[in-house]
Amino acid sequence: MPSLMASSRKASSRPSASRPSTRVLVADDDVEILGLVTRHLSSRGFEVHEADDGETALAQARKLKPDLVVLDVMMPGMSGWQVCRSIREDSALEDTAVIMLTGIGERLNEMTSPLYGADASLDKPFEFGELDATIDRVLESRKKA
């Protein structure tokens, strides 16, 4: 299974013609990770937008109203946690799912991300299969809510 640190490979899954594209905002200050995740999600048929810092991520989220935001925790300016909290406080973004990505440690991420309103978290490095499963689970649970 390809991992975040491996070269990006295109996946074969695409949205059906009858299903509108899911809009995803990916925010990470690490250009390599941002590019890998963006290419991977694009290959799955998502409409992907990028931000490389917290302020830009929040501005893009407010402008685009994405279905999902994938946020790095440690970014310059606003942290991913601050962006997540701001998304949760914005009624226009109440349907937006948030997944936190971080290399700060599994336990800290598991304990802290829910406090800021994240739907899920993943620790870096991760396998794309883990990311895909987390995205699918979070988007499905948001549909039911």
For residue 126, how far is the Cα from the chain centroid?
13
Report the pLDDT value the prediction gives residue 109, as an integer from 0 to 100. Answer: 52
Per DSSP (E only), the strands in the chain are 23-27, 47-51, 68-72, 97-102, 120-123
Report the pLDDT value the prediction gives residue 20, as an integer from 0 to 100. Answer: 62
Each residue's pLDDT, cut to its tens digit, for the chain (145 residues) gives 444 443 333 333 444 443 468 999 999 999 999 999 999 999 999 999 999 999 999 999 999 999 999 999 999 889 999 999 999 999 999 999 999 998 765 565 555 555 568 999 998 899 999 999 999 999 999 887 6
Report the pLDDT value the prediction gives residue 135, as an integer from 0 to 100. Answer: 98
Report the pLDDT value the prediction gives residue 100, as an integer from 0 to 100. Answer: 93
Amino acid at 125: P
Kindly list the domain boundaries of the chain, sorted by start residue: 23-144
Q: DSSP states of 103-123 as a string?
A: SS-HHHHHHHGGGGT-SEEEE
User: Which class would CATH give 23-144?
Assistant: alpha beta
In a 13 Å sphere around the CA of 135, the CA atoms on its Cβ side amount to: 23
Report the pLDDT value the prediction gives residue 103, as an integer from 0 to 100. Answer: 76
